[in-house]
Structure 1
Amino acid sequence: MACLLALAAAVAAPADNPPPADLPAFDCAGPFAGDASEAVLAARFGAGNVVFRTVPGPEGTTFKATVLFPRDPARRVEIAWKDEKRRRRPEHVSVAAASRWMTAEGLGVGSGLAAVEAANGRPFTMAGFGWDYGGTVTDWNGGRLARSGCRLLLRLEPTPGAPADDVDGDRDFRSDAPAMRAAKPVIYEMMLMFE
């Protein structure tokens, strides 16, 4: 029980949850900047930790991506390229599942709704649950997590067993709506989307 309380406190306070020391921040700068390339990633993380392969996409599709740390779920990152032939200029960068990557604000997979609102400095808008793009943040409403040129996209899902029927479906909800708070959503995927 004490471990669960400590975890809840860390998730609720993003400033107290810095990125792991062995990983840079999951951000639009650094290794995932708009001018990044597979060659730069191989130099930074080791050529043996970088592969190019087909990965699953939304709605049953697949696409080609560079995968960092393909055998390590905690460090795995998928990068789709605008210039796929030369594997440069990211289109999007994503982490999910057991990822340990964290934003500079201390958000990561498993961070809760309150932590996301605190990092943003205000409530935000997100899609309802129960469909392919369910739980996706659609608007930061002018908060601190809004970026230009590169968008931080978070996807959240309800905590198992929490009531979520009132926030299901292909429509938008405010994060501070009572029904959304009752669903106790947590981040399950983070993406950097480049314009």
Structure 2
Amino acid sequence: MKKIILLMSLAILASCGSNSEVSAPTENLNEVLTCIDAKGLVSKYGAKSVILDTSIVSGDDTLKGAILFPGTAKQANVFFHDGKISDVSIQGESSAWKTASGLYLGLPLQDVEKLNTKNFTISGFGWAHGGSVVSWEGGKLAGDSTLTHLASFRNKRQNISVEEFNKVSGEAEFDVRHPSIQQMNPVLEQITILKPYIPSKEEGKGIAKKIQSSQIPVR
């Protein structure tokens, strides 16, 4: 009898552990945007939970912003435009945050398709910007004039052969319905929600120069 009770207890513990690993986070990332500015961040989350005016490495760029709950499962990077919060980003294998639209780190691509309610386009894998969403193709995650989503999927091979991975790699765009991408079913590793804004004329010139300098010359 003692052995049976012990086995049942272990089974219950294992079940609880398993559920905690797959359960979606509950913290609402959209609430960060409602803070409006740095003062609002401190007011809502506390001065000890916010590092203001610090350098944050994001891809190829080093940007100025704020770090929310640094070194914890609730860490998030907050960026500003003209003193107002413009976007908030999370990255890694997991996070305590989830967007109001249902996105969270570790969510598989096929589940993201369901949230978007249609297929979408991503960049090829195997390079610096691999696995990034290029267009939501008019799906729900495209948002509107008040909010939109940026996202990137795990940029490495999984579940498929090298040959199949190469078919969906490189500086090109792919429909996520591609068989190799569907077989990979990569998970989200970076999510950003942002308030779109129309850049000024001078900002537009700067953006154009940056894009031009990053383009590969045609030979």
Same fold (TM over 0.5): yes
Aligned to 2:91: 96
Instruction: Work out which structure has the larger RCO, using CA pairs closer than 8 Å and 6 or more positions apart in sequence.
Output: 1
Identity %: 27
Aligned to 2:56: 55
Report the CA distance shift for 1:143/1:4 in structure 2 as closer, same or farther (over 3 A): farther
Displacement of 1:7 = 8.3
Displacement of 1:90 = 2.4
Report the CA distance shift for 1:170/1:2 in structure 2 as closer, same or farther (over 3 A): farther
Give the structure with the higher percent helix. 2
RMSD value, Cα: 2.6
- Give the stretch that moved more between structures: 135-144 or 107-116: 135-144
Counterparts of 1:7 and 1:136, CA distance in 2: 28
8 A Cα contact 1:69 1:77, kept in partner: yes
Q: Residue type of the partner of 1:171?
A: A
TM-score (norm 2): 0.71
CA displacement 1:29-58 (0-9 Å, x = unmatched): x3314x711111111111110012111122
| Alignment match of 2:119 (pick from 123, 126, 147) | 123
Displacement of 1:76 = 0.5
1:145 aligns with 2:144: no
1:1-195 alignment to 2 at 5 Å? 17=24, 19-20=25-26, 23=27, 25-27=28-30, 30-33=31-34, 36-52=36-52, 53-59=54-60, 61-72=61-72, 74-83=73-82, 88-97=83-92, 98-149=94-145, 150-157=147-154, 161-163=158-160, 164-195=165-196
Structure 2 stretches lacking a partner, 5+ long: 1-13, 197-219
Counterparts of 1:116 and 1:148, CA distance in 2: 18
Counterparts of 1:4 and 1:175, CA distance in 2: 32
Displacement of 1:165 = 1.9
8 A Cα contact 2:32 2:88, kept in partner: no
Structure 1 stretches lacking a partner, 5+ long: 12-16
